[in-house]
């Protein structure tokens, strides 16, 4: 990597100084030591309880239940008509991307500066948090290097508001399989890190972990050329080594995959989740269930792309891509494979994360309660986040209050009235 010039360093210092000064009015309000929240109901990550209250002390939940005593000096927040629930967990996002109908993916990777992308991503992080998502897996910077590590640090240090991030940095692809692709005579920056063979993939995994990756993301299949169907890219040996190397360092691996063979190889390698799974079959989903691999279906991304390409939702036949998603989701539900919640937000607008929940209910037949469990305790369990996803004493005070009952009406998740992260309020009635 080239060293930064003095002027370039000054530019970055100015940018982050500006972000620091401008973000301060948007940051959380200072909270007292204890806060008693009194909503109409509490969804604890599994079940709805009317008449319950939640006591927060510092950054943790102190007590939960009916008729809690208010400690001396504590603040009481009355939340009539609201349901309190664990902070939502976004399972598949790209903070450094913005909707493709604004700027095509190729142009974002090739033409937008990293400074611009980082500045935009800080706004994306804030919108995500205020939409009720207090944790997010960010699964690849798509050509922005290790910028997600810095964004995570900025959030953790209170420089800019945002969710708790699990970052995947550059992601791994087989040489020649990803993009952007222009003329065969022109070498262009890629949207992920190319790596091949046992030594190459092990080195790349270790490099990403050393730079700050919480997660390793691998593209188990992709389109080799324009107009081609997706095909497996990495061999079984390569995938096995990627998972073994990451797991030895305490990192899980997630796999982008849409072909049965790519999904099968990733499952046998021991990935934590498979993202998309558009071409998944009943057999491969059964294998995933047997091996404890979850599916993150990202139905909202395909729906959005189909609309960008001219589909008018609700009119005429479903596009082929959306039809295939319905077929694969029917097989997934029949198999009983565990579903993670994540929409591939960045393909569509950040802050609109609930779009995934709405589509799962309205178009794919899941119940609001099932989706709500996926987005809270389910994702926490799949991702190994033992300190969040439920409302119970000792866990992080990451809490959201919405108008109405989201266990019956998924649209209630759009009516966010309160957001608390680590006991600190970022939004309140």
- Residue-by-residue DSSP string for 184-206: TT-----SSEE--HHHHHHHHHH
Residues 77 and 107 in one domain: no
Question: Contact, 191 vs 217, CB < 8 A?
Answer: no
pLDDT of 185 reads 84
Domain's final residue, options 332, 353, 374 = 353
Cα separation, 148 vs 163, in Å, equals: 12
pLDDT in tens, 117-150: 999 999 999 999 999 999 999 999 999 999 999 9
Cβ neighbours for 328, distance < 8 A, ≥ 6 positions apart:
277, 278, 279, 280, 281, 297
Give the pLDDT of residue 316: 86
Q: Reduced to 3 states, what is the DSSP secondary structure of residue 143?
A: coil
- pLDDT at res. 29: 54
Domain shared by 203 and 299, yes or no: yes
Tell whether the model's pLDDT for residue 260 goes beyond 50. Answer: yes
φ, ψ of residue 105 to 5 degrees: the values are -55, -45
> Binning pLDDT at 50, 70 and 90, where does residue 7 land?
very low
Q: Which CATH number goes with the domain that contains 275?
A: 3.20.20.140
> Can you read off the two tokens belonging to residue 184?
């065969």
| Percent above pLDDT 70 for the chain | 93
Would you say residue 320 lies in a domain? Answer: yes
User: Cα–Cα distance between 56 and 66 in angstroms, integer?
Assistant: 14
Residue 340 confidence (pLDDT) above 90:
yes
Mean local confidence (pLDDT), 86-115: 97
Does residue 320 sit in the same domain as residue 408?
A: no
- Considering the domain boundaries, does residue 311 fall inside one? yes
Domain that holds residue 167: 101-131+141-353
Task: Of 123, 96, 40, 38, give the one whose Cα is nearest residue 407.
Answer: 40
Tens of pLDDT, residue by residue over 172-224, are: 999 999 999 887 888 898 999 999 999 999 999 999 999 999 999 999 999 99
Peptide bond into 344 cis (omega under 30): no
Whether residues 68 and 115 share a domain: the answer is: no
Q: Are residues 252 and 108 in the same domain?
A: yes
One domain, residues 397 and 272: no
For the segment 39-51, the average pLDDT, to the nearest whole number, is 98
- Establish if 56 belongs to a structural domain: yes
- Nearest Cα neighbor of 34 from 424, 429, 396 is 424
The domain that holds 61 is classified in CATH as 2.30.40.10
- Neighbouring residues of 242: CB distance < 8 A, sequence distance ≥ 6: 172, 201, 202, 205, 216, 218, 234, 253, 269
Distance CA 82, CA 54 (A): 13
List b or e across 213-231, with b for residues whose CB sees 16 or more CB atoms inside 10 angstroms.
bbbbbbbbbbbeeeeeebe
Q: Is residue 372 part of a domain?
A: no
Select from 299, 328, 353 the last residue of a domain.
353
Backbone angles phi, psi at 164, to 5 degrees: -70, 125
* Domain identity same for 335 and 410: no
390's tokens: 């439920």
Dmax (CA) for the chain in angstroms is: 72
Q: What is the pLDDT of residue 31?
A: 53
The Cβ of residue 203 has, within 10 Å, a number of other Cβ atoms equal to 13
Specify if 363 maps to a domain.
Answer: no
Residues 301 and 188 in one domain: yes
pLDDT at 183: 78
Q: In terms of domains, do 175 and 212 share one?
A: yes
Beta carbons of 271 and 335 less than 8 angstroms apart: no
Distance separating the N- and C-terminal Cα atoms of the chain:
48
Residue 211: inside a domain, yes or no? Answer: yes
Q: What is the mean pLDDT of the chain?
A: 93
For residue 18, give every residue at least 6 positions away whose Cβ sits within 8 Å of its Cβ, in sequence order, or none.
none
For residues 73 and 212, membership in a common domain is answered with: no
What's the confidence (pLDDT) of residue 278?
97
- Domain count within the chain: 2
* Residues 280 and 342 occupy one common structural domain: yes
Average pLDDT over residues 368-380: 98
In a domain, 296, yes or no: yes
pLDDT given for residue 425 in this prediction: 97
pLDDT of residue 3: 39
Q: For residues 275 and 149, state if they share a domain.
A: yes
Last residue of a domain, one of 337, 353, 369: 353
pLDDT over 80 (residue 14) = no
73: in domain: yes
pLDDT in tens, 279-295: 999 999 999 999 999 99
């Amino acid at each position: 990597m080239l060293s930064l010039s003095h002027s370039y360093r000054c530019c970055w210092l100015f940018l982050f100084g500006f972000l620091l000064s401008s973000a301060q009015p948007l940051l959380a309000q200072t909270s007292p030591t204890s806060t008693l929240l009194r909503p109409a109901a509490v969804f604890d990550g599994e079940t709805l309880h009317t008449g319950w209250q939640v006591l927060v002390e510092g950054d943790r939940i102190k007590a939960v239940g009916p008729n809690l005593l208010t400690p001396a000096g504590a603040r009481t927040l009355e939340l009539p008509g609201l349901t309190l629930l664990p902070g939502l967990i976004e399972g598949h996002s790209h903070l450094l991307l913005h909707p493709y109908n604004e700027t095509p993916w190729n142009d974002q990777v090739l033409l937008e500066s990293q400074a611009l992308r980082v500045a935009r991503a800080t706004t994306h992080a804030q919108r995500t948090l205020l939409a009720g998502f207090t944790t997010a897996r960010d699964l690849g910077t798509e050509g922005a290097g290790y910028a997600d590590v810095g964004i995570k640090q900025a959030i953790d240090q209170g420089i800019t508001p945002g969710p708790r991030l699990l970052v995947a940095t550059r992601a791994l692809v087989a040489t020649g399989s990803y993009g952007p692709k222009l003329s065969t005579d022109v070498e262009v920056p890629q949207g992920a890190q190319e790596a091949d063979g046992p030594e190459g993939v092990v080195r790349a995994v270790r490099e990403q972990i050393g730079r700050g990756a919480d997660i390793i993301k691998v593209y188990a299949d992709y389109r080799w050329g324009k107009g081609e169907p997706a095909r497996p890219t990495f061999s079984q040996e390569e995938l096995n080594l990627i998972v073994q190397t990451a797991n030895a360092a305490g990192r899980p691996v997630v796999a982008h995959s849409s072909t049965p063979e790519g999904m099968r190889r990733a499952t046998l390698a021991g990935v934590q989740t498979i993202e998309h799974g558009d071409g998944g079959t009943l057999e491969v989903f059964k294998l995933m269930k047997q091996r404890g691999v979850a599916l993150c279906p990202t139905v909202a991304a395909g729906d959005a792309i189909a609309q960008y390409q001219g589909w008018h939702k609700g009119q005429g036949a479903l596009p082929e891509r959306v039809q295939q998603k319905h077929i694969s989701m029917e097989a997934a539900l029949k198999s009983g494979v565990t579903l993670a919640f994540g929409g591939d937000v960045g393909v569509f607008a950040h802050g609109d994360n609930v779009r995934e929940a709405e589509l799962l209910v309205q178009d794919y037949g899941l119940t609001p309660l099932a989706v709500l469990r996926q987005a809270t305790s389910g994702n926490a369990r799949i991702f190994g986040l033992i300190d969040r996803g439920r409302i119970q004493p000792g866990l992080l005070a990451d809490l959201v209050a919405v108008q109405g009952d989201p266990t019956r009406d998924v649209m209630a998740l759009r009516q966010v009235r309160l957001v608390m992260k680590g006991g600190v309020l970022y939004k309140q009635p």
